[in-house]
Structure 1
Amino acid sequence: MIRLMIVDDEQIVLDGLRFLIEDRFEDIQIVATLRSGREAVEACRTLVPDLVLMDIKMPGISGIEAIETIRKQHQEIRFIIISAYEQFEYAQQAVELGVREYILKPVNPAKLTEVLQKAVREIKEEQERRTQEMENREKLERILPVLEHGFIYSLLLGEDYREELGQYRELFEIQKESGFVLVFEFGEGVHGKLRNRIGTGVKSQSFYPLVQSILKYKCKCIVGPMIINRMTVLVYEDRCENEYEQRLSAMELGEALHQKIQEVADTNVYVGIGGCHPLEKIKNSLEEANYALNRMSDEQILHFGDIAFWEDREDGYSFVDIKADEVELIQMMETAPEEELVRQARHFFNRVEKKFKGSSVDVQNILLELMVMALGLSYRHNLQEADVGYSTYLGEFKRLESLVELENWCLQKIRKIAGMVQGSKHQHVSKVVLEAKEFIDAHYNQDLSLQEVSKRVSVSPQYFSKIFKEEIGLSYVEYVRKIRIDVAKDMLRSQQYSVKEICYRIGYNDPNYFSRLFKKLVGVSPTDYK
């Protein structure tokens, strides 16, 4: 039911309009008939109608002034002007205030009916749109923790989380390109000698929702699950040139969060904070936050940048640098030529030896960690035990006494696994991906889902998504976008079509979304592209 208010200083007009509307409209409820602009302003505060028929010239506050005042509180209310005054200045003022129609007295019943029908239709469409948005938002709120937990798990497990991060940022329209990680630890006793970690983790589930609410209120962030007694949080933050100022800002946030969380958590709370990094390298901040947490003595909050050991290091090759080089080596095993891979591996070995000054135990630990990561890569590519020989690796590793032998053995295994991984990527999936690629290239401007394309090439959507990314180097969504944007660039250079026409021709329905996406991927807006 549409709620309507009528405002006119002539009672005969009010009565006539009421009779006409009630006779012709079953879906309109007249909530008030008023005789001044002041009464209209006061009534709108409590009645909040959907639609107002407003006379312009009334004693005291005019209709235009009343509309202007009401608009400040209720942007959603629609107005239709009814007046005997046809002066252009009134019509112009009404348009500036968002008035849809301007009807002259004496009112033509047919004209009024037409205008009201249009207004009712638009109001109902808007109400349906808002209802749908609220339902979508409720659904989104329900799946948000699942998305966040999935991202944090990917981060913790060292998987490639960049695609998930990109989808998450697009879904929530996150503009920041960098951030930092906080790791919260809950426990009984002094940090470093915490008791009953598992029991604390179980108990922490009771106050986890409150902690999550505090974090969401204080900052724009992704909140991870409680894993035993630790919780990982990614905070979006713009990077600044002054690292010290950035560290102070992060510490202020950490202290504020610590204070609030300590109030709701029935246990001690400790916070490790990592440095600010680009989002594609946020793994570094996670390592730093964990490092800070593990180095605590009598502190409750510690920033990685404040650790004296870190600041006074002699060689400049950090724990985080080692982790980053390990990840880079594993990534190179999937794509890099053998010569380049060998050169990078030897460079890594030399830096590690220099870092630990030849300490065999420390170097062995680093190389063992690298080989575990290499074996993990072979698992992900379904390499067989008969080919890789997983079961003998640890025994072989322990029997090697000198660092030279150990490094040569690691290098041999890295080359072997890399060769099999790169070979497997081109043996089994090329035909499937090629067929899918040809189909996408021919139908890029249609509403093609991943499920439709995977069905066409007769593989499951999950497997298709995996092999497509491995073969092409882009996810399915990224590839479709690239094709569309490349076509858009060609069309823009031809100067034959408007931006709006190009948007529809390449398969998008929203020109504003197309313009934002184009600028994000190309660096300039469609109108500025040459």
Structure 2
Amino acid sequence: MYTLLIADDEALEREGLELMIRHMMPDTFTFLHAENGRRAIQLAEEARPDFIFMDIKMPGIQGLEAVREISAIYPMTRIVMITAHDYFTYAKESLTLGVSDYLLKPAKREEMLDVLRKLIDETEQTRRERNEQLKMKEKLSQLIPLAENELSLMLMLECVQEVEVSQLAKLLDLNWQKGYAMVLSLARDAAEEWEGFQLVKKEVYEAIKQFVKPILTCLVSPMVGHQIVLFIPFSPGQSGYSQRVNSLDWGKRIKEFVEERFGYRLSVGIGSIREGWDGMSRSYREAARVCADDQNTVNVRHYDDITMSSGQAMITSDEEKKLLDALLRQDKQEALNRFTALWERLMQRSEPVQLTHLRAEVIGLLLYLCRGTQSRGGVEWISLLSGLEDMEALRHSAQLWLDRIADAMKEDQERSRSHVLQRALLYIGQKYKEDISMEESAEFVNLSPHYFSKLFKQYTGENFIDYVTRLRMEESKRLIQEQRLSLKEICFEVGYNDPNYFSRVFKKVLGMTPSEYRQQLEKRSPC
């Protein structure tokens, strides 16, 4: 039901309107009466009616003034002005105040009914729109965390697609020009302790997220293994050095919070300030590298501090990409040569090379290559490298990993090609009795005809035409042996339209015509 407030200084007018409306639309309204503008305002505040019928001329606070008061507080309330002919100009003025409609006294039944129906329709439409807005808001509130997870994982996994990133950033209302990454890495100590962590993993993650969001306004990644990554925007008006000092302070505060509340040791790695989303990915790799350094004397480390203090040459983004490209091309020798050159450059220092810095740099490189090649064994190898205490063993293990990842990529590619060709052969096996072409088969498995032709020959040992012809000839032999169909019928059955052409192909493949083949079979069969 709807609530209708009737404001008129004449009681008979109010009661007459109520009676008329009850008769026209029974069980639709709850009625309130106000004898003047002041009372109308009070009832509007107390009951918040859906509709108000307001007389313009009343003692004290008049109709238009009451409308101004009520509309200012409850703009969604629909108001209809009721006036005599003498005050018609006031009724028109009321429309500028947001009044829905007006009626002239005495109101006619048809006009009253039309106005009420219009008010109800508008109210229901508004309610539907409001409900849709609330549903969309609820869906958006559920979507925001998923979008945050997706964007942070894209930055971590090096799969930054400009359109997708822009869409996610727009959804999250992000307009970052610069920023940096902070990796929070929970220590994996005793196996029993790590098993206990798995039971409270979600609680730890939610607590960290709630702690950092108010102070950093950052993107928070899902927990991947034992790590959480924060992507933090650059604060305008601060120098890069001030930002670095602040980031170290925030890292210490987060570390203290986690260790005091949960008792788990936390290492924090912070990357350099970088521009754009590609730069954020680069900053993440830097943060992961210094976080992988297990030097216990400093558990909150900034990439710039490590590089400045160690004097060690670092691997550039261009060098990483060239090494990854060699792996993707499965050029094992080039990949090995590039890694060897990088290793030698990292070792060329005036001061003794620190194993922890060297190991962190190599692990950071391998993290990048793991993501770029979608390696499934990267975590195990990185865990192994983290425990090595000898530089030569570190170099040898990294080279071994490069060799094995190239072999694994080749095996994956072979499996993928085999799967594609199996699908193609199955398709050909179903269609060879029709007018099938190589182009049609290539399109079915979504390959270009040229590449499909080479792959087909490599996989089957024969070209497409010979393969289809062999299938047709084998089927022709089987049908001739059944002696169910004539040779002409067999010709059409196996995909040929010309019996003479069929006979020539048959003879070319089997050394005799279909007729000769049938006669030979008849001679062999017992009488």
TM-score class normalised by the smaller sequence: 0.5 to 0.7
How is 1:346-385 mapped onto 2 (pairs within 5 angstroms)? Answer: 353-357=344-348, 365=362, 369=366, 373=370, 376=373
- Letter of the structure 2 residue corresponding to residue 86 of structure 1: F
Matched, 1:206 2:173: no
Query: Residues 367 and 264 (structure 1 numbering): CA distance in 2 closer, same or farther, change over 3 Å?
Result: closer
Aligned to 2:525: none
* Corresponding residue SS for 1:133: helix
Partner of 1:181: 181
Contact in 1 for aligned 2:38/2:66 (Cα 8 Å): yes
Specify which of 303, 320, 330 is matched with residue 326 of structure 1. Answer: 320
Give 1:309 deviation, angstroms: 2.6
Alpha-carbon distance change, 374 to 35 in structure 1, aligned in 2, over 3 angstroms: closer
Task: Assess if the C-alpha contact under 8 Å between 1:31 and 1:47 holds in 2.
Answer: no
The 5 Å alignment of 1:156-171 reads 156=156, 158-162=157-161, 165-171=165-171
Could you say if the C-alpha distance between residues 138 and 77 of structure 1 is closer, same or farther in structure 2, counting changes exceeding 3 Å?
same
* CA distance, structure 1, for counterparts of residue 138 and residue 33 of structure 2: 37
The Cα offsets for residues 120-153 of structure 1, whole Å up to 9 and x where unpaired, read as 1122122123223333444454455455445544
| Cα pair 1:186 1:201 within 8 Å, conserved | no
User: Conserved in 1, the CA contact under 8 Å of 2:158 and 2:281?
Assistant: no
Matched with 1:486 is: none
Aligned-partner Cα distance in 1 for 2:258–2:365? 38
Letter in 1 for 2:348: K
1:86 corresponds to 2:88:
yes
For residues 299 and 367 of structure 1, the distance between their equivalents in structure 2, rounded to whole angstroms, comes to: 18
Q: Could you list the per-position Cα deviations for residues 186-210 of structure 1 after superposition, in whole angstroms to 9, with x for gaps in the alignment?
A: 579xxx9999344234224335445
Q: Which ranges of structure 1 fall in alignment gaps of 5 or more residues?
A: 380-399, 433-456, 469-530
In structure 1, what is the Cα distance between the partners aligned to 2:120 and 2:7?
Answer: 18
Change (3 A) 1:41 1:140: same
Structure-2 separation of matches of 1:65 and 1:267: 66
2 CA distance for matches of 1:263 and 1:370?
A: 30
Which structure has the bigger radius of gyration?
2
Q: Residue 49 of structure 1 aligns to a residue in which SS?
A: coil
Q: Which residue of 1 aligns with 2:487?
A: none
1:287 shift after superposition: 2.7
Equivalent in 259, 275, 284 of residue 286 of structure 1: 284
**What is residue 309 of structure 1 aligned with on the other side?**
306
**Partner secondary structure for residue 221 of structure 2:** strand
| Superposition pairs of residues 9-24 of structure 1, within 5 angstroms | 9-24=9-24
User: Contact (CA 8 Å) 1:49, 1:77: kept in 2 or not?
Assistant: yes
1:375/1:229 Cα in 2 relative to 1: closer, same or farther (>3 Å)?
A: closer
Whether the 8 Å contact between 1:239 and 1:246 is mirrored in structure 2 is no
How far apart are 1:160 and its partner, in Å?
A: 1.2
DSSP 3-state at the match of 2:29: strand
Is 1:224–1:231's contact at 8 Å kept on the other side of the alignment? yes
CA distance, structure 1, for counterparts of residue 200 and residue 70 of structure 2: 51
User: Does the residue aligned with 2:135 lie in a helix, a strand or coil?
Assistant: helix
Cα gap change, 1:253 to 1:360, in 2 (>3 Å): closer
Contact 2:41-2:69 within 8 A present in 1 as well: yes
Contact 1:82–1:103 (Cα < 8 Å) also in 2? yes
**C-alpha deviations, 1:52-97, integer Å up to 9, x for none?**
3334444444444444444454443333333443337x745643x4
Q: Give secondary structure in 1 for the equivalent of 2:222.
A: strand
For 1:373-395, what per-residue CA distance to the aligned partner results, in whole angstroms no more than 9, with x for missing partners?
4993699xxxxxxxxxxxxxxxx
Q: Is the partner of 1:226 in helix, strand or coil?
A: coil
Shift of 1:283: 1.8
Q: Residue 222 of structure 2 is aligned with which of 221, 225, 243?
A: 225
TM-superposed deviation, 1:41: 3.7
- Structure 2 residue 114 is the aligned partner of structure 1 residue 123: no
TM-fit CA distance, 1:241:
7.7
Superposed, 1:262-273 pairs within 5 Å as 272-273=269-270
Instruction: Tell me how large the CA RMSD over aligned residues is.
Output: 5.8
TM-score by length of 1: 0.55
Which residue identity lines up with residue 320 of structure 2 in the other structure? E
> CA 1:252–1:370 in 2, change beyond 3 Å: closer, same or farther?
closer
Equivalence map 1:389-428=2 (5 Å): none
2 CA distance for matches of 1:31 and 1:57? 21
1:65/1:149 CA distance change after superposition, 3 Å = same
CA distance in 1, matches of 2:290, 2:41: 59
Residues 227, 242 of structure 1: alpha-carbon distance in 2 compared, 3 angstrom cutoff = same
For residue 114 of structure 1, report the CA deviation from its aligned partner.
1.9
CA–CA distance in structure 2, aligned partners of residues 155 and 169 of structure 1? 12
Q: Give per-residue Cα distances to partners, 1:140-170, cap 9 Å, x unaligned.
A: 54455455445544544x2515365444334
The residue number in structure 2 matching 1:52 is 52
Judge conservation of contact 1:82–1:105 (CA < 8 Å) in 2. yes
Indicate if the aligned counterparts of 2:37 and 2:58 stay in contact, CA closer than 8 A: yes
Q: Secondary structure at the match of 1:196?
A: helix
The one-letter amino acid of 2:279's match is K
Query: Alpha carbons of 1:268 and 1:352: their partners in 2 closer, same or farther (altered >3 Å)?
Result: closer
Structure 1 residues 256 and 111: alpha-carbon distance in aligned structure 2, compared to 1, 3 A threshold: farther
**CA 1:238–1:365: 2 relative to 1, 3 Å:** closer
Rate the CA distance shift 1:32–1:308 in 2: closer, same or farther, 3 A: same
CA contact (8 A) 1:237 1:276 kept: yes
Q: Deviations over 1:100-131 (max 9, x none)?
A: 33444443432332232122112212212322
What amino acid does structure 2 have at the position aligned with 1:200? Answer: F
Q: Which amino acid aligns with 2:324?
A: I
* Matching residue of 1:6: 6
Q: Is the 8 A contact 2:307 2:314 kept in 1?
A: no
Unpaired runs of 5+ residues, structure 2, are 377-391, 425-442, 449-527
Residues 10-31 of structure 1 show CA distances to partners (whole Å, capped at 9, x for unaligned) of 3333223322333333574335
CA-to-aligned-CA distance 1:352-378 (integer Å, 9 cap, x gap): 643431889959957993996499369
Q: In structure 2, what is the Cα distance between the partners aligned to 1:237 and 1:102?
A: 57
Are the equivalent residues in 1 in contact too, given 2:220–2:229 (CA < 8 A)? Answer: yes
In the superposition, the TM-score normalised over structure 2's length comes to 0.55
Aligned to 2:111: 111
**For residue 487 of structure 1, what is the aligned residue in structure 2?**
none
Residue type of the alignment partner of 1:354: R
How many angstroms apart in 1 are the aligned matches of 2:187 and 2:375? 37
Structure 2 residue identity aligned to 1:87 = T
TM-aligned CA distance change 1:355 to 1:61, over 3 Å: farther
Provide the rounded CA distance (Å) in 1 between the counterparts of 2:183 and 2:368. Answer: 27
Other structure's SS at 2:223 match: strand
The answer as to whether partners of 1:240 and 1:246 remain within 8 angstroms in 2 is no
Cα separation, 2, equivalents of 1:69 and 1:257: 52
In structure 2, what residue type is equivalent to 1:226? Answer: M
Contact 1:181 1:233 in 2 (8 A): yes
